[in-house]
Amino acid sequence: MIEHSQIAVSAPSNAPQQWHDIDWYRVQRNVRAMQIRIAKACREGNWRRVKALQRMLTRSRSARYLAVRRVTENQGKRTAGVDRVLWDTPDAKWKAADGLKRHGYKPRPLRRVFIPKSNGKERPLGIPTMTDRAMQALYLLALAPIAETTGDPNSYGFRIERSTADAMGQLFVCLSKRLSAKWVLEADIKGCFDHINHDWLIHHVPTDKMVLRKWLKAGVIHKGQLQATDAGTPQGGIISPTLANMVLDGLETQLKQHLGVTRAKKLKINVVRYADDFVITGESKEVLDSEVKPWVEQFLAVRGLQLSPEKTHVVHIDEGFDFLGWNFRKYGGKLLIKPSKKNVKAFYRKAKEVISTNKAVTQEDLIRLLNPMLRGWASYHQPVVAKKAYSRMDFQIFQALWRWAKRRHPNKSLDWIRKKYFQLIEGRNWVFCTTLLTETGDKEEIRLYTLEATPIERHRKISGEYNPFDPSMEEMGEKLRMSRMLGKLKYRKQVSNLFQSQKGLCLLCKNPITSETGWHDHHIIYRSQGGGDSLSNRVLLHPICHQQLHARGLTVNKPAPDFGG
C-alpha cells in the first residue's frame, strides 16, 4: 500500500489573495458542514431554520468558490452563453467568485441550441452565461440537501451516487418473484422540461423565490430573436435536473398515501422513476387503468404536465416493456432483463457512423475511436442478460470493419487484407488488431475491444433511503463511491491502483476524487527531468489541485514501494 503522502505547502492564509491560494479542503469542509445542517433542519421540518442556513451558505465565500470551480471544470466550460464570455484564467475565476452576489443580479437570456435525439427529432438546450451557471451552481449547493432529503426513495435520476442500474435493480426486486406484480404502467411525460408550471415551482421549491423567478423568466435568444419563457425549466441549466426532480417528487409517496399504504402493498403498487421516465407496477390492469393512471394525470396536471398518449401503455410482464435502454420481460415465469432492440440499433448506428466517416484514418486511430464507445456500451449492459447481444454486436461491427478494410485496398486479395488487419490471438480468429513500435523499441499490440469478453456482473443496488447529507450514512456513501469509481476504472488498471492506494482522495486537498471532479495523473519527478512512468512516481490529483501545485511550486512526495510499470 502507498503510505500517506507528505506535501510541502506554505502556511495557509485565512484569506486567499488569488484563485490558486484557495484551500479546497477547507472550502469543501465548510460547505458540507452547512449542507448537513440544512438536511437536518429539513428532516425536522424546521423550514425557518432551513431558509436561514440556505441564506448563510449562498452568501459564504466557500460556496462561491465551489460554484465557480464547478462551472469551470465541467464539460460545458468551453461553451459560452449569449455574452460569449468564458472564465478560462485563474484571474477570471477569482473575479467571478467575488462577483457572485444576489443584490443587483439579473440573469441574461439563454442561448438556444439543438442537439439530435435518437428518434431523429431535436432536443432544445438553453445555454446560460457563465455567471448564470455559477449562480445556479451556488443556489444548488443550498437546494441539493433538501432535494435529497425529501426525494422519493425510488427516484434514481440526477441524484448523488444513483444510476440507471439502481433503477433497473429496483425493478428486478419488484418484478422477479413468482408472486410479483404482473402488470406495468409504462409512462412518458410529454416534453417534461418544457412545460413545468412556473407558479408551481416558485411556490413549492424551497429556494430564493426572487432568484428562481428571474431564472425562469430570463427568456431565450434563438436566431437573434428574444423569446419569452412562460413555462418549463431550460435543459442545459445546472439546476434544471434538480428542479424537475422536485416537481415529480411525491409521485411515489403521495400515490401510496392516496391508495392507502396497506392497500398499495396488497395491489403491488411500486413506482420506479429515473428523471422524467417512470414505471408503476400493479396486480391488475384495471387498477392501473382506472385508479393509478387518472391519479397520475391529475398529479401532473397541477404541475403543468401531461402524459404522452402515444408512449404511455399498460402492459403485461409476459409481453415485456422497455425502460432505460433495457427490455424487461418474463419468459415462462422467469424475469430476464436484456438490452432493448432500440438501444442495440442506436448503438450500432453510432459505431457504424464512426467507421464509415473515418475511411482514411489508420487502423490504430480507428481502434482508439471505437474502444471507448464499445467499453462504455458493454459496461452499461454488464449487469443484465447481455451475452447474446454482445456476440451479435461483435459480429455486426466485424462486418462493418471488413467492409472498411476491403474498401481501402480494392486491388488486393481478400487473404492479403485479412492478414494485414486481422490476427489470430488467444485462439480467436479475425481479431481487429495492429502492432506498433514504441519509443523504446518494444512492440505494443493495439486491438479492438471484444464485447463478448465482458463478464456479466450483478449490480449492487443502492438503498432507497440513502441520503448523502445524513452523517449516519457517511460510511455507506464512502463504500459506494469507492466501489463505483473502481468499476469505472476497471479498464485502467494503473489509475485504479493509484485510486485504491490513495483511498480515493486527492493527495493535495484530501477531498474525494469522483467522476464529476475528474483527475490528473501527476508525475512527482517530471518526465522531462528523468522521472519514470512507474506508479511510485505518480499520484492522482484533482485538475484544479494540479494547476495549484504548479502555480505555487508545491511538491508531493510519496514514499512507497515501486509497483513497476
pLDDT in tens, 169-192: 999 999 999 999 999 999 999 988
pLDDT in tens, 33-73: 999 999 999 999 999 999 999 999 999 999 999 999 999 98
Find all residues with CB under 8 Å of 291, minimum gap 6, and list them. 259
pLDDT score for 149 = 97
Q: Please indicate whether residue 348 or residue 74 has the higher confidence score (pLDDT).
A: 348
pLDDT score for 559 = 42
Q: Are the C-beta atoms of residues 303 and 205 closer than 8 Å to each other?
A: no
pLDDT score for 7 = 38
Angle at 157 between CA 47 and CA 258, to 5 degrees: 60
pLDDT score for 555 = 81
Angle at 110 between CA 84 and CA 305, to 5 degrees: 160
pLDDT score for 382 = 96
Beta-strand ranges (E) seen in 426-473 are 428-437, 443-447
- Average pLDDT for 78-102: 92
Q: Please indicate whether residue 232 or residue 461 has the higher confidence score (pLDDT).
A: 461
Amino acid at site 196: I
Instruction: Return the residue matching grid coordinates 410479483.
Output: 180
For 69, 230, 287, 539, the CA distances from 506, given in Å and listed in that order, are 16, 44, 52, 8
pLDDT in tens, 509-548: 989 998 888 888 898 887 777 777 788 889 999 999 999 9
Query: What are residue 303's DSSP bridge partners?
Result: none
| Residue 414 confidence class, pLDDT cut points 50, 70, 90 | very high
Using the predicted structure, report yes or no on whether residue 561 has a pLDDT greater than 90. Answer: no
Burial of 93 (0-12, 13-18, 19+ CB in 10 A): buried
Instruction: Return the residue matching grid coordinates 489470430.
Output: 424
The radius of gyration of the chain from alpha carbons, rounded to an integer in Å, stands at 26
| Lowest-pLDDT range of 5-9, 132-136, 427-431 | 5-9
